[in-house]
Amino acid sequence: MLPCRLTAPRKVAPGCSGHRAGVTQPVDLDVPLAPDDLSTPHDGTGEQVAVHDLADLAPPARPGRRWLPKRVVVTPAALDHPHGLRIIERVEALGIDVERLRANRLTGVRGADERQTYALAKATLAIVVSPPSRRTLQPIPPSADWRVDLAEGCPAHCQYCYLAGSLSGPPVTRVYADLDAILEGLAPYVGTATRRPEEGTTFEASCYTDPLALEHITGSWSRAVEHFALWEADVQLRFTTKYDDVGSLVDLPHAGRTRVRFSLNALPVTERFEGGTSRLEDRLSALRRLALAGYPVGMTLAPLMPMEGWQQHYGHLLDLVAATVDGVPGLDLTAECITHRFTPGSKEVLLGWYPRTKLEMDEQARTEKRTKFGSVKYVYPKDVMAELRGWFDRELAARLPQCRVLYWT
């Protein structure tokens, strides 16, 4: 067993943060943070949850500053897994103590109000064992054949967050200690490719989190990249990110079996709505570094918004990408185009979190659409969607002819 420095559970006096009367309900870390039935990226279920006023908690997009949790806890079950001990070692190397929980229930993240609860949860990292429901893979169209979760939760503060209306409790970030078992459990799914058979069986590893926001803490995605590199099978690992911390990935043996996509948007969206993430120019620099290292790379163009002057703003973005990949030998570049949408539940929560947001969420300007789960989401009208798609189809072909567009939604 690796040596580790574990502290006892914190004793918080009555009246202190997290233990006020009526707010002592613990968080069950065995329960997934997000539901199992989200159908696509940037979608939601419409589940009603409490509203939070968090307008002042979201930092702007900023130069590459790594997220460091203020509190890290580990469940008893996580200590039985080698990767859990590896995460503890990495956390302690960052100068952060790890608190040993007596059970898989976490206290001290319920504040005096929902605003404080959100702030406490967003600053907390839990090292846990993945829930059983997460170890049975689910299809994740149109991104990939299967969704594989190495973590849940994200330290970013995106004002359009597609999970906002469907979280099961305070957004504590959970990282999974049973990584080795998760990766070993992928083998039965090989040969089941239905999305894009030419890519082999694809596994999406960023549905409920942002990998590069957590990689310096966990090392999970580096190990996954190495696992896929050694896997003699027609497979591909995929993940998308709004961060630029690729240093640990650049020199890894990847065998071309991991595609890293960067979530990109026009500057008015990135600067206004993507708090706490890396700046656009830093994401582009990271994309180039990985492309030069031989990785297949991609753009997740999301969420696309027909703001005033959108053609000029998105034209500028595509020109920046073209300059970024210029001269990259053997470039393998894809694009995934995802328009903005919202649900009644996500709108309620997002307006509570960011009441001064300029994000357009006007049902009268949208078309109501029913998901296969029966929930309602609001998308752009057909004429707006057609204009957006037509423009991106033309401009991607003209400005980035080497790019393959995987899907539009």
Question: How much is the average pLDDT of 92-106?
Answer: 92
If one counts the domains in the chain, the total is: 1
Residue 10 has pLDDT above 50, yes or no: no
Question: How much is the average pLDDT of 219-225?
Answer: 98
Residue 242 has pLDDT above 50, yes or no: yes
Give the side-chain half-sphere CA count within 13 A for 222.
18
Question: How much is the average pLDDT of 271-296?
Answer: 96
The whole domain housing 94 covers 44-408
The pLDDT of residue 23 = 46
Q: Is 195 left (phi over 0), alpha (psi -120 to 50) or beta?
A: alpha
Does residue 3 fall inside a structural domain?
no
Does residue 209 fall inside a structural domain?
yes
Does residue 104 fall inside a structural domain?
yes
Question: In this structure, what CATH number is given to the domain that contains residue 381?
Answer: 3.80.30.30
pLDDT band at 19 (very low <50, low <70, confident <90, very high): very low
The pLDDT of residue 133 = 86
The pLDDT of residue 41 = 40
Question: How much is the average pLDDT of 397-405?
Answer: 98
Query: Against a cut of 0.95, is the pTM above it?
Result: no
Q: Which stretch of 147-156, 315-324, 395-404 has the lowest confidence by average pLDDT?
A: 147-156
Q: Which stretch of 24-28, 256-260, 262-266, 299-303 has the lowest confidence by average pLDDT?
A: 24-28
Does residue 37 fall inside a structural domain?
no
pLDDT band at 157 (very low <50, low <70, confident <90, very high): confident
Does residue 16 fall inside a structural domain?
no
The pLDDT of residue 164 = 67
Residue 241 has pLDDT above 90, yes or no: yes
pLDDT band at 63 (very low <50, low <70, confident <90, very high): low
Give the side-chain half-sphere CA count within 13 A for 46.
15
The pLDDT of residue 12 = 31
The pLDDT of residue 69 = 95
Does residue 25 fall inside a structural domain?
no
Candidates 220, 32, 33, 34; CA nearest to 131 is: 32
pLDDT band at 11 (very low <50, low <70, confident <90, very high): very low
pLDDT band at 371 (very low <50, low <70, confident <90, very high): confident
The pLDDT of residue 1 = 40
Q: What is the mean pLDDT of the chain?
A: 86
Does residue 8 fall inside a structural domain?
no
